[in-house]
Amino acid sequence: MQSGIEKLLRFSSGLTVPVSRRTYCLAGFSLAAVKYLGDALLVASATGTFWKPTDYLHTTRSLFNTALPGAPEWLIPALAVWAIPFLWIGVTLTLRRAIDAGVSLWWAMLFFVPFVNYLLMAAFCLIPSSLPSAGTTRLEMPAGKRMSSAALAVAAGICFALVMTVSAVLLKGEYGYALFFGAPFGTCALTAFLFNKRYPATVAETLNVTTILLLSVAGVLLLFAFEGVLCILMALPIGLGVGFLGAIAGRTMARWGQGVVPPAVSAMLLLPIFAALEPPNMTHLVLREVRSSIVVNAPPERVWPHVIAFSPLPNPTDPVFRLGIAYPESAHIEGAGAHAVRYCVFSTGAFVEPITDWEPGKRLGFDVASSPDPLRELSIYANLSPPHLRGYLRSRRGEFRLVSLPGGRTQLEGSTWYEIEMAPQSYWQVWSDFLIHRIHRRVLDHIKAEAESSSNAPADSVTDR
């Protein structure tokens, strides 16, 4: 039994043994079935909803972008972790199928192009095996120098990353899958390919050069004001994970005789083209609620005045806000009742909030008519305004609920409903939820302190849900 498991692991993770079309087809369908069963089990255990295979067709991208009512916060990260090994196995099987078919390994780049990847996998299930040819035999070990080879490879990778950024963001104005997955995979694949083409690098040396590349790209994006420090740090986990996968693929291409540069460059050009042609609004917009709560040692009628308007807050000490995330400073209201307008002033400007629900001592609901930038980017430039600050994260409405508790206490709940239009939604929602919870906590703590100002009762902690 143990030997069988070891063989399965070697087959799934190896890059040296070609895969026939029959094996590729059987493995692909088997892995798809296992992946689906895992998705369905996670969704069922979290929401009680049965996830059917046809439900994948109702989404624009994947299970991650589907509204799952009542889904706990752990579901999306769990689905992402479950998907990682299947992503790796899919790429490696596609590379090995290309070796067996005698076609360029650079076709595997299409695995990261949405929808086109299905055509690629279907074609690889049909293309027959081929005898080794000049394009798929191992080359002699290169004899270049490590430092010069690394410098050339990193420079080429930086140029490609800039082309991808310009194609996806500046020309098209969209943060899509081609940018967040195709760019790091293709950039690192090209860098690793050029490095291993000139120098017989080990896997460790290849990953070290890839890390230098990603840090260099981050520095260039800062220098040319494409991004700020904070957003680069948030995107870094995706870049490292997908980039290292691309680096392994690029090294494999160089080792298996795909050493001719023109086909590599031609394959690289496919990704910027697909980034520019990627249909707009491919992410399925879901109105997501973030809710936080706190127990206030005061009755609802004493808490209510501090909900509709509160005095200026002290300067924040939370590191999240000190890094540049916009934070609330004060709130005031003009008028009373359902026709009033509340203004919640943040460090980057004011949220204009027309009141929609006015139940004194019970509930305050409001829409968000306009909102400021979600953060001030850390940058060497004073007025950096990268495109992702303009409308990609939108607050739609909010609500405070006051629930009377025994002993003259109040459970104060705050909710924000927002949309995010950056792929992959599931990844950015984790960050957005975390940051919105921190904003809620700052406001709720302040309201609690104001309402309890005449009481010596100990403060309770905030509970995030």
pLDDT tens figures, 90-136: 888 888 888 888 777 777 777 766 667 788 888 899 988 885 544 44
Quick one: what percent of the chain has pLDDT higher than 70? 74
- 356: phi then psi, degrees, rounded to nearest 5: -115, -25
Give the pLDDT band (50/70/90) at residue 339. confident
Would you say 385 and 372 are in contact if contact means Cβ atoms under 8 Å apart? no
- CB atoms inside a 10 Å sphere around CB 5: 9
Mean of the pLDDT values across residues 71-85?
76
Tell me if the pTM is above 0.95: no
Helices (H), 226-373: 229-255, 261-277, 300-308, 319-322
CA distance 125 to 450: 67
Contact 91, 245 (CB under 8 A): yes
What value does the mean pLDDT take over residues 290-303?
94
Nearest to 91 by CA among 107, 106, 111, 105: 111
Dig out the tokens for 381 from the structure.
């430039």
The pLDDT value recorded for residue 270 is: 62
What does the pLDDT read at residue 416?
95
- pLDDT, tens digit (0-9, with 9 covering 90-100), for 55-69: 665 544 455 555 565
* Positive or negative: CA dihedral 236, 241, 244, 246: negative
State whether the Cα torsion 56-59-60-66 is positive or negative: negative
C-alpha to C-alpha distances, 260 to 139, 210, 327, 395, nearest whole angstrom: 11, 21, 53, 50
Q: What does each C-alpha distance from 11 to 14, 142, 348 come to in angstroms?
A: 6, 28, 53
Q: Which of 389, 429, 417, 419 is nearest to 281 (CA)?
A: 419
The DSSP output letter for 327 is -
The residues pairing with 325 across neighbouring beta strands, listed in sequence order, are 375
> Which range (60-74, 163-177, 280-294) has the least confidence?
60-74
Q: Does domain 288-464 have CATH number 3.30.530.20?
A: yes
Q: Which of 65-69, 208-212, 286-290, 423-427 has the lowest mean pLDDT?
A: 65-69
Residue 103 CA to residue 261 CA, distance in Å, equals 15
pLDDT of residue 1: 44
pLDDT interval class at 166 (50, 70, 90): confident
Most confident listed range (134-148, 176-190, 275-289)? 176-190
The domain segmentation of the chain, as residue ranges, is: 2-277, 288-464
Between the alpha carbon of residue 457 and those of residues 361, 440, 445, 449, 463, the distances in Å are: 21, 22, 14, 10, 18
**Which H or E element spans position 88?**
helix 75-101
